[in-house]
Each structure stands twice: as C-alpha cells, then as structure tokens.
Chain A
Amino acid sequence: MNFICNFPFFSILLSLFSGTICSVLPAKAAKVVNRVVIAVIGLLSAILLLYLLSVGEPFVYWMGHFPAPWGNEIRAGVLEAGMALFFCIIMYLSMAGGAHKLYDEVDESKHNLYYILVNLLLSSLLALVYTNDMFTAYVFVEINTISACGLIMIRQVGRTIEAAVRYMIMSLLGSGLLLFGLCIMYDLTGHLLMSNIKESVGLLVANGEYQIPLIVSIALMCVGLCIKSALFPFHAWLPDAYGYSTVSSAAILSSLVSKGYIFLLIKIIYRVIGFDNFNSTRIIDVLFVFGLMGMIFGSISAIRENDIRRMIAFSSVAQIGYIYMGFGMGTQTGMVASVYHILSHAATKSLLFIAAIGLTEVSGGSRKFADLTGAGYRNKWAGVAFTVGSLSMVGIPLFSGFISKLLFAQAAVQVEGKMLASLIVLGISTVLNAVYFMKTVIRIYTAAKDSPYGGMTFGKMKIYAITLIFFMLVNVLLGVSSQPVVDLIWQGLTMFS
C-alpha cells in the first residue's frame, strides 16, 4: 500500500490534534497553527487527488488492520479527495478573509477557543468525507454539530446565542433522526460499514424483504440530513445562525458545514443504499418538490429581507434547494449538477459573506440596505467582490453559477416528468436571485450624498483584499474551465458505486 494512502487518515488526525494543541497555545500561535494545518491538509489532499487520478481507482484504508466487517474503514476516491481539497481552500480563504473581523467581534480570550473549534470542524468534515463507516459518520456529525454551535456562539451577542440554541435543537433533532435511521438499518442488515450494508440492502431489495422498514430507515436518514443542511422547510435555524455569527463562521457554516452533510447524504445514497434503490423510492420526489419550493421561497424571503447578511443567508436556502432538486431528478447527471453546485455555491457564498462584511464595515457596521448606499465606492474591493458573487449567483456566464445552472438544466431536460417543472422554477428562481442580488449591487453603487463613513483603501486591508481576489479567482476558474471539474465529479461518482 502506497504511503499516500495514509493521507486521509493523517489529515483527520492532524486537524484533531492541532485542535487539542491550540487549546494551550496563545491566540496568535493558535492562529498560525490553524492556518498551517489547513494548508498542509489541503496540500495532502491535492497530492492524494493527483495520486488517485493517476491510479484511477479508489482505495480502502483499514484502521488498525481489522478487515471488514469488523474494522473501521476509510475510503478515498477522486471525489473525496477533491472535496477535501476544496473544503480546505474555502476554509483557508474564509478564515483569512474574516480574521480582522474576529478581533472586533470575539473576545480576545476566546480566540484560541475559536481555532480549536475550527480545527475540530475541519476534522469532522474530513471524516464525513472520507469515512466508510456509518457509525463513524454519525459520531463526526455530532462533533460537527457541536463545533458549529460553538462557532455561532463565539460572538456573544443575544441573537447569536438564540441562534446557536435554535441551531443546536434543530441539529440534534436531525442527528437523532439520522441515528434512528442508522439503527433500523443496522437491524435490517447487521452491518455498519457502508459497503457491507449496500450488499445486504441489495439482497433485501432483490428478495423483496423488509420493504417498509427499509424505506423508513432511508427516509429518516434523509430527513435528518435535510434538517441539518437546511433544506426548505427545515431552514428556520439558518438565517440567524448565518446572519449574526462572526463572518468567518458564517462563511464556513454556509459553504462547508451544510455541504458536509449533503456530501454525507450523497455517500449514503450511493454507497449505502445504492443509487438505483434510492431512486426507486418515492423519496426523491419529495426531495425534488422540497428543493423546488426551497428555490422559490428562499429567494422570496431573501427579497423581503432588509439586512444584507440575512439576505445572503436566505439565499443559501434557495441554493440548497437547487442541490436537492438535482438529487430529486434521480439521474447521474442531476447528481453531477448537484455536486458541482456544492462546489460553486461554497465558493460563491463564502465570497459573498466575506465581501458583505467589507461593505458593512465602511457603513458604520450597519447591515441595513439604506446605510449601505454607496458602500461599493468606499470599499472598492468588497464592492467588486460582492458584484462578482452576485453575478455568479444570478448565473452569468464566466462565473461558476452559470455552469451549475447549465448542468441542472441539462439534467432536467433528460428527466421526462420533471423537466418542465424544474426548468420553469429554475427560470423563476434566477429572476428572483437577480432581484435581490442586483438590488444590492445597485444599492452599493449608488453614490450616497455626503456619507459619514470613511472609505477603505487597499493598504488598510491587504489580506482581506487578497482573499477576495482569490475567492473571485476560484469562482471564475470554476466558471471558465469547468470541464475538468465536471469530469472529476463524474469519475468520482462512478467510483462510488
């Protein structure tokens, strides 16, 4: 076994341990450790990705040399490695972009706590990505929940605490349901390792045994993960959680945490239940409908919002609707579109959050639209970045959002019964996106008469600006040379089954 095969395991452990180390380090050092760890993990993932691409097939890594069905396994394919790499990039950029805000919003003594949480979060995300064991997945889901809660709560104002509590309750409900589903699945199959469960499920389906418990189990797992990833109508926790936490947290939460759950769901669909088995249930129709509704209602809520951060948060609801719509189509192309959208949305949404903070900063910290008038002139980089993010969200060619829209639409056309519905909703949702994002863009570029707030120059916010540039680059790269990424997703999804 090649040395590189250890990388997934190393990455998870590395982030776990660094989290522990951070607790004893001073804030500054913790920050450095955190950055380095993320970078190193990113590097490891990149090497892994290259390796997997050259090998062309996934590998399974036994933890502690116990073979299946007893041991705990890690599995790495192209998609996993790519996802891990991507998560690292986004996380690094989000941390860098929100760093200065952290000083303002979070108590100095809690900084290293923050980095602990971030490291834990990363480790749990990586574990979700790599694990081949359902129970491990569950454990890391909980770790993820707790660290996410911490990230929300670390900025201690009334609303974040309320938001964190709400998030906690909803999330625990979600993980509870996931656990129930898992239990039933374990009862039915007697396994916890994904590959083994899949075999058993295949047999069950083939023999026509335990139909209803199976479906209940699948449904429970789905609902659990949907709640955690804020699919409409389970999104009530989201706006406050994203809207009031410190900006790095918001960016990470929106672009990574919910995506981690969604990725887990994809894994469950492919590796636990089996893609075809999953598609033969009616659950995909439910997901489809909720996805469509999410696309519309999320946007409508965003339009009615008067607070830029909450608006972006609501937009996430809509975007998650897109992803579930892709699931609901029940085809490989739909799934590819969804996975691509995970990437594109992650890149765009974190960019938007980071850019929004730059805009609010030059508007006296107010997030109300009225105060944001002309902010695009006062903070040029944030203005441009926000515009780029918005255009991507609206789906202008050259940006990543266009490609995901293109993929979704192409996928939709191939599904006879769902074609019109998805196309029309796609159209409407684009219009709605245009309404609230472009409204904001125009607002920030409307010159305010004698604004009391000072401007920001490049010198004052070098790191921030560079982060934004990188974010935009990621976005445009995804938008322009999407083909390799799409190929990679195809390959990864094929490796899954």
Chain B
Amino acid sequence: MYMILLSVFFPILAGVFLLIRFRTPLSGEGNASKRKTLVTLTGCFLVVTALFTGAAILTQKEGVTLFYLTKTLPVYFEIDRMGTLFSLLALVVLLCAGFFSFEYMKHEERESRYYGFYLLAFGVLNGLCFAGNLITFYLFFELLTLSSMPLVLHTGSKEAVMAGLKYLFYSLCGAYAALFGIYFLYRNCETLSFSAGSALKASAVAEQGGFLLAVAFIMILGFGVKAGMFPMHAWLPAAHPVAPAPASAVLSALIVKAGVLALIRVTGLFGRDFLQETWVQTAWLGLTLTTVFMGSLLAYREPVLKKRLAYSTVSQLSYILFGLAVMNEEAFTGSLLHVLAHGFIKAVLFLCAGAIIYKTGKTRVEELRGIGKEMPLTMWCFTIASLGLIGIPPTGGFFSKWHLAVGSLKSGLPVFDVLGPVILLVSALLTAGYLLPITVQGFFPGADYDYNTLQKKEPCGLITVPILILTVLSVLVGLFSDNIALAITAAGL
C-alpha cells in the first residue's frame, strides 16, 4: 500500500529537500566536497526511487485512495498495465539520464536546482503513470509541466527563459483545454476512474452526443499539446534543445509521452465506440498525419543537431498518436511499441548529442564531420539508434511502424487507411534523410579530412554507459517485439 505512495512522494520530497538544502550556488572554489555530497545524495535518491517504483509495480495490486479533494474527487492511485509500461520506460530513461547528468552537469551553474527538479519530475511522472482516475492524472499532468519547466530554463540564457515560458504556456493552454473537457466528462461519466473503461452515461450520449464529441476533440487537442501535435507543436522545438542534454532526453523521451498516456486514458474514458467513425477521429487522424510529415520535413531542414532531434520528436510522437487515432488493436499495439522504442531511441540520440557537446562543444550538423572517428562508441550508439528510428529491422522502430501500418490498412477507414501508411513511409525516408548523413559524415569525413588533428575524445563511463544501456534496450525492444506486443494485447487495452 505504501510502496505506490513512496514511489511518488519520496522523489518529490527528496527533490524539495535538495532544493532547500543546496539553495546557494555551488560554483566556485572549495565547493567540490559539497558537490560530491549533492551528487551522491541525488544518486542515492534516484536509485531508491527506482527501487520503490519497481517494488510498487511488483506488489501493488489494488488501488490506493490518498484523500478526497472534494467529496467526489478522490486522489486515487492504481497500477494497471498501461501505467506499468510507461513507468518502466520512465524508470530506465530517468536512471540512465540521471547518471549521465552527474558528469554532464559538472560545470553548470546551480546544479542542485537541476537535480531537485529532476527528482520532482521523477516523482510526478510516477504519479502520472500510477494515477487511477482522470483527476489524479490531471493533477500530475499540471505538476509535470511545472516541475519540468525549470529543467528547460535551467541554463538561464535569454533563449532558454523564453523557451521555458513558451513551454509553460503551451502546456498550460493544453492542460486547461483538457480541464474544460474534464469538467464536462465529470458530469457525463459514471466515474472518472480508468479501470472501468468507457464510462460515458448512455443518457448523456443520447442527449448531447454532438456536444460531447466536441468536448472530446477539445480534450484531444489539449492533451495533444503536450505530445507536440500540430497545430500546438511550436513549443517543442523551442524548449527541448535549450535544456541541458540529459534533460532534453528526458523531455523528449518521457515528458511528451505524458501527452500520449493522457490521450490513451481519455479515449479509454470516452470509449472507442463513441469516437470511432466520427468527425473527431477524422480530424485527429488528419492532424497526426500532418504533424508526422511536417515534423520530418522541418527536421530535415534543421542545421542544429538538438533542434533536428526535437523536430524528429514532433514527428515521431505523432506516429504514436496516429496509432491511437486509428482505434484498432493492431495500431494500438504499434503505438505502444513505438512509445517504448522511441523513448529509448530518442534518449540515446539526445544523450549522444549531449556527449558531443560536452566533449567538443559542437552543436551544428555540418561541424560534425569526422566525429565518428573522435568518439566512435558514442557515434555507434547514435547510428544504431538512428537506424531504429528510421525503422530498419530488427530494431524496435521497424516493428512498431509495421504494426501501425498494418493496423491502418485493416481499419477500413476511408482515405486514411492508405494515406496513413504512405505518409509514414515518406516520413521514414525523411528520417533517414536527416539522421543518416550525420553518421555518414561522422564516420566517412571524406578524403580531405585531416587525420593528423584527430584526437580521441571518448567521454568517461558515466556518460557512455547510460548511452550503451539505452541503445541495447532500444534494440531489445525490436527483438522481443512479439512478446511485448502479446503482453500488450493480453492487457486487453
């Protein structure tokens, strides 16, 4: 019973503790020991949280009602399969990126603030995954925005602050649009608990079905903001690149997934039957495909590496959303697979980009000629992850996209059943177009490359090991995709 609460509130309290304990800046001489304490503490906290989370997933079967916000609004936690999936992903990525940052953040100002909010975000993400009803979910959804914003504007440059605010306002805008829907759902649902599946009152559907569809659409748009769905995607390419690399990895791999989870929950509450073959589905499909294509195209044109990756996130996230919008089992499986695959892959890519910046300070793609020679291990990981994202078998990306395409073709939707796979394919080509040149240039700098200046710049273990782990995992997702798909299908979602 307590595990679940511990997994949520321990990191939050730990984060607050760090924020208060280390509130003065650490930079400057003589603070080395203090930094050491900070890092050790953070490491311990991370590991302990991970243990709590694992224990919670393993032991917790029934839900926990923490307290009631109002008479009918419980803050309620329950671990279901969906939550487990997302929280496992979060756990791994957060751990890896956390250890990565111990090295990466060495020279940044106000490290403690970063770790504090990092832990906060960890707890909040756990809460989000374990939330058992829409209200609790919404609570953590808002908190997630707030706790991750400081990560975005951590560097404090003008650009970062502007991006942070942009992130904040877009997210809140989305959250409030979703809240609008929640207000109405609350009246028109039997319960807001997720375990019940579709909970719309039959009478409500009969009386104001049209209005409820509009509500559903508003909620999709609202939560879609977090997942970077067109037309509210502009914050993502601004916010993700300015954060420190490990934070970017977390943002791109996990925090945007909160939007995905939200949409899964919401469509669950409305019920597929209610939304299927309505204008809402059509519009949603249209938006996701637009985003897929547009994201890839923008990434293709982007010269700054981290920004390119951010655009790629925009596009990839909408793969997942596309799978949700198709609303059948096959596509849904594809979506969830892609959640995992993209989560690992994007984390790897961002961490690699971070490693490059950390060692060489290079941020633009055209500067990366020969980088593969300097940092071979990092670049190998980068390459494998790239292949995964493009969807080359046997990586995770291939299988998820396969399921997505098959689901789409099976769906029998007019136009979109074919248009979907086509666009996915085009986007995959574009993905290859924007990722592979980096690898190619990195490893094959060309004849005029001056090998004499070559220096090995492979970073230390604290940076490479997390990257390696994540890379391996991204491949494993592909290898065991069948089992995962089976497990997901068995979850009956």
> Is any CB of A less than 8 Å from a CB of B in the complex?
no
Which residues of A come within 8 Å of B, CB atoms?
A: none
